[in-house]
Structure 1
C-alpha cells in the first residue's frame, strides 16, 4: 500500500539544500518524516483524505533554520527585559530606563539588554554616575550586546557588596576608579554575577555560562516560573523559522526543564546542549558528568553531546587574547582563561571520550591556543571525525587560517557581530584591534576559501535572533575600507551555514538539514522568494509557517 501524506506544501520554490536534487515544487510529510519531494503533479496525489494542503504562493521553502550558537535561558529571560538596541545618547537612555522603571515598580533589579559600549558617546564611557542620574534609588544593571560587560548604578553595587571592589578571578574585573570605588563597569561573569543574582530570576539564567553549574536551591514556584520563561523563548524560536538550536551554555537544571517540556507537551524546537567546562573544574568531570549526561539525554529532540569552554573574553572589554598587543594599549595582549597545558589536557581527554568541543575564542591569540589544543588531541589520540569548533573567531592570524581545514575544525561565526553591521558602531573595536588586523577580522570567506566548514548563528541574546535578519546582515556586510577584502559568502553558502552544515556539525546530517525523502520533517515556509529578494530586503521576509518533527509549531496570523 502506497504511503499517504498528512501535510503537503506545493506551489513553492523549494531549496532542498540537497546537492543531488537541489530544487522542487512540492513536499509531502507523513508523521514526523518527509514522504517525498518533487513536482506539484507528483506530490499532490499523495494527500490522504483530510490532509492539510498548503499553497506557498511561489515563496521559498527551506529546511528549518538551525541556530548554531545561542543561549535559550538567558535569551528567554531577556524577552521580558528592557531592550536598549540602537539607543544612543544620554537623554534617549534616560527616557528608556525611566519609562521601563515606571512600568515595573516591583522588580528587585531593573535589567536592560543591548546597551552599546558607546551608548553615551564615542568619547565618554558610561559609569555608575551616569546611571545614578537616571535611576538613583533602585538597583539597575545593563548589559552590553556581547554580555561580557555590564554597568550597574551605585545602589546596585552597594547591595551586591562590590562597590569597594572584590577579587573576581582571572579574566574578570570590577573596574575601579581613582576614588577607590567601583566605576560601575563590570567585566565578565564573575564580576557581573553579584549584581545579576539580585534579579527576579536570581540570575539562574546565567549559571550555565557563568559557573557551568546549577542553582543551589530552587522552589517549585521558581522552577515553574523558569519553565514558563523557557517555553516563551522556545515559541519565539519557532516563530522565526528555527527548528533546531545549539545552546552554548549547559547545566543539568536547564536540561531537566527542557526534558520536562518534551515529556509533557513536546519541544517545538530540537535542542543540543553542552556540558560547560570551566577552568576550576577537575578533568574527571568530563567522564563523570559530560559523558554521563550524553547517555542520559540522547534523542533527536534533546541531546547533550559536546563540551563548551571559554578561552577569552571580548575585544571591547579588553579581555580578548591577541597574538600581538592591543593597538591602543601597548604591552597588553589579554589574559587567557586557561593555560595552554591545561586546555590541551582537556582537549585530549574530551577527544578520547568522543566528546566534540566548542570553544569561545575572540582574539587571534585565543584562536591559536584552541587550534593548538585540537592538534594536541590528534597527536595523542589519532585523527578522527571530531567536528570540534571554535566560536566567534573575530580575528584570526593569517598563519592559522589553513589550520582549520587541516585539523577539521569548524568555524562557528556570527554575521550580526562585525562592527558596522546590525546597528553596531565601528568604535572602539576598530581602534582596539588596529588596522593591520582588519583584513583578518570576521574573515568568513578567507576561512571557507581555505577549506574550512562554517556555521552561522546570532549568539542570542547577544544579537537579535531572527535568522532572516542575520542572513541579510551576512549578505550586506560592507568592508571597513576600500582596500579591505569582501568576506561575504554567496546566498547558497550562507543558507547552507544555517541549515545543512549546522546539522552536519551535530552529527545529524543523515536525518536533518536537507529536505529529502526519509529525513525529519523540519521545514520553514517564507513569505517570499529569497533568491529574487534584494540582499537589503532579506530581513523583511518572514516565516509564514514553521514545522518541526512534522508538527506545525508556528503559523503567521
Structure 2
C-alpha cells in the first residue's frame, strides 16, 4: 500500500516497527544470529487489516449467543431456540442474534409468537442490523417494560391494542432493559445512552466485561485485524481496554468514541475532550464523537427525502438541522472528529449540510469527518462528499444479496426507482470520495475475506444500476491504508513502510491468484500487531 514501493519480496521487523522493505537479498542481509525468519512461501503479505467500524465488546459478548444467520422459518426458529435452551439451563436470558425481519407473522404480537416457542424463560432475538429486538412476554415482564416504557424520539417500545407491549422493541433505549437481563447493561451503555456505569463496578463485574472485549479481540485477530474503530463506547470502555493493555491482553489498536445522544447538550462535549486527553497513544485513543442520525431501512426508521413506498412516511432525523448544524460546528471547533450513522438519503444530506456548516463557521482543517453506511444517497449530494473531504465508511457485507443479508425487505422498502442510488461504492470512489471499509461486526461477519468476496461478486439490482464493485486492489486499500487514514492513524499503520508499526497479516494464499467467488474461503495464516504474533493458524511455523 506504499505508492512509492507497491510490491516487495521481504521485510524486516524490529522493536515493533518495520525496519526495511525490499528484495529478499537486501532484507535477509540484515538478519542477526537471533533473528527469526518466516518464509511466506509465495503467499500474500499485507498491512494488518484496519476495521473501520465494529462493536468489539458487544461482538465478543454475542459469540456465545444463539446464531440465526442461516436459520429459516418459524419451525427452524423453534428448533434452534429449544436446542439452545436445553444446552443453556443457567442462562438468565436466551438471546439470539441475526434474526431477519420476515421471521414472525404480521398482525400477531411478537411476544405471543415467541411464547409459543418458550414461555417460561425469557427469550429474545436481535435483528441482523441490531436495531430491533423481539422479546417474549417473560422477558418483557422481567425487564419491566410489558406495560410500556418512555423512550427518546426514534426509540420505541411498540404497544398493542390491549395496552401491552407487542414484543417489538425499536432502537437501543427501547431494548436496553431486555439486553440488561443477560448481564450486558454496562456493555450496552456506550451505544444506548452514551453514559457511564452508575455506582461502583466491582472487579468481578469489570473482569466479566473485559472477558467480552478479549473474546472480541481474539476473534478479530483470527481474521487478520490489527486496528479497529469501535463505534460504541465511553470512558468505561477505554478503562477496560487499558487494563487489558497493561495485562498484555490487548491484541489490536483501538479507537473509541464519545457517543453523543439527542438528550445531551454542548457541555457534554467536555467529556469527549477529557477522554481524548486521557487516552491518546498508538494503542488506545479517542478523539472523535459518534452519533446516530437515523435508524435502518428494514424497520422504516432510516430518514428519507421521499416517503417509503412501503411505510408511507419519511421517518425523522434524530438530530434535526437546527440542532445538528450548531452541534457539528461546536464539535469541529473543539478539534474533534465526527462520525455519524446515516443510512437514508435524508439523513446523509442532513449530515453533509452540518459538516458544510462547520467548515464555513470554523474554516477548513484536516478533520476527516465521516459518514457511516450511506446506504442511500441523492445524486446531487454524492459530489459534495469529495468536495468537503468527507470519508465514506462503508460495509461491503451490507448490500442485500452480497453476503448474508437477503434482498428483502430492503429492496422493496427502498423502491426500484432508487436502487441505482443505493450502496454506491465504486461511483463514490470515482468521484474522489475517500473510502474506508468495515464490517460493522456483529451486525455481519467480521471476516475480511468474506467481505472482499462480497465486494468482487456483488451483482447489480437492475439494468439501470451501475456496477458498484471496487477492484481487489481498491478494496484492500480501503481495508488497510484507507482505514488508517480515516482514523487519523496513517502515521502509525496501514502501509508496509519503514518506520511504521509492524502490523501485518499473512494469508494462506495469493489473493490475486484466487477466483473472486473463492476468496471468502482463504484463511489468515498469521497476524502480527506491533511485532507481536496475535494469531497463528494451527501448524503455522513462526
**TM class by shorter-chain length?**
over 0.9
* Aligned equivalent of 1:4: none
Long gaps (5+) in structure 2: none
Which of 269, 276, 283 is residue 301 of structure 1 equivalent to? 283
Distance 1:492 1:70 in 2: 22
Deviates more, 1:46-55 or 1:543-552: 46-55
Distance 1:120 1:468 in 2: 32
Distance 1:215 1:92 in 2: 38
- SS of equivalent residue, structure 2 residue 406: coil
* Aligned equivalent of 1:48: 32
CA change 1:466–1:124 in 2 (3 A) is farther
Contact 1:323 1:333 in 2 (8 A): yes
Task: Tell me, yes or no, if structure 1 residue 529 matches structure 2 residue 510.
Answer: yes
Distance 1:306 1:471 in 2: 27
* Aligned equivalent of 1:67: 51
Distance 2:173 2:57 in 1: 18
Distance 1:533 1:120 in 2: 40
Which residues in structure 2 correspond to 1:272-291 (within 5 Å)? 272-286=255-269, 288-291=270-273
* Aligned equivalent of 2:526: 545
How far does the alpha carbon of each residue in 1:321-365 deviate from its partner, in whole angstroms, 9 at most, with x for none?
Answer: 0011111122x1011111211111111011111101000001000
* Aligned equivalent of 2:83: 99
Q: CA deviation at 1:126?
A: 7.7
Distance 2:238 2:225 in 1: 19
How far does the alpha carbon of each residue in 1:455-505 deviate from its partner, in whole angstroms, 9 at most, with x for none?
Answer: 110001111111111111111111112332110011111011000011111
* Aligned equivalent of 1:323: 305
Q: CA deviation at 1:125?
A: 8.1
Contact 1:118 1:124 in 2 (8 A): no
* Aligned equivalent of 1:171: 154
Which residues in structure 2 correspond to 1:156-555 (within 5 Å)? 156-199=139-182, 201-217=183-199, 218-286=201-269, 288-330=270-312, 332-555=313-536
How far does the alpha carbon of each residue in 1:435-465 deviate from its partner, in whole angstroms, 9 at most, with x for none?
Answer: 1110011101121111100111000111111
> TM-score of the superposition, structure 1-length normalised?
0.94
CA change 1:29–1:91 in 2 (3 A) is same
How far does the alpha carbon of each residue in 1:137-169 deviate from its partner, in whole angstroms, 9 at most, with x for none?
Answer: 100111001110010001111222222323212
How far does the alpha carbon of each residue in 1:362-417 deviate from its partner, in whole angstroms, 9 at most, with x for none?
Answer: 10000000000000001101111110000000100111000001111100011111
Distance 2:496 2:233 in 1: 30
Contact 2:58 2:187 in 1 (8 A): yes
How far does the alpha carbon of each residue in 1:167-217 deviate from its partner, in whole angstroms, 9 at most, with x for none?
Answer: 212001122233332221111011101211111x24222110111112213
* Aligned equivalent of 1:14: none
Which residues in structure 2 correspond to 1:70-81 (within 5 Å)? 70-81=54-65
Contact 1:119 1:126 in 2 (8 A): no
Contact 1:88 1:120 in 2 (8 A): no
Give RMSD over aligned pairs.
Answer: 1.3
Which of 90, 103, 115 is residue 119 of structure 1 equivalent to? 103
CA change 1:387–1:365 in 2 (3 A) is same
Q: CA deviation at 1:511?
A: 2.8
Distance 2:109 2:53 in 1: 29
Q: CA deviation at 1:266?
A: 4.9
Q: CA deviation at 1:43?
A: 1.3
Contact 2:230 2:254 in 1 (8 A): yes
CA change 1:202–1:61 in 2 (3 A) is closer
Q: CA deviation at 1:507?
A: 1.7
How far does the alpha carbon of each residue in 1:112-136 deviate from its partner, in whole angstroms, 9 at most, with x for none?
Answer: 1111112357x78881222111111
Task: Tell me, yes or no, if structure 1 residue 109 matches structure 2 residue 96.
Answer: no
Distance 2:113 2:514 in 1: 44
CA change 1:126–1:98 in 2 (3 A) is farther
Distance 2:129 2:443 in 1: 5
* Aligned equivalent of 2:137: 154
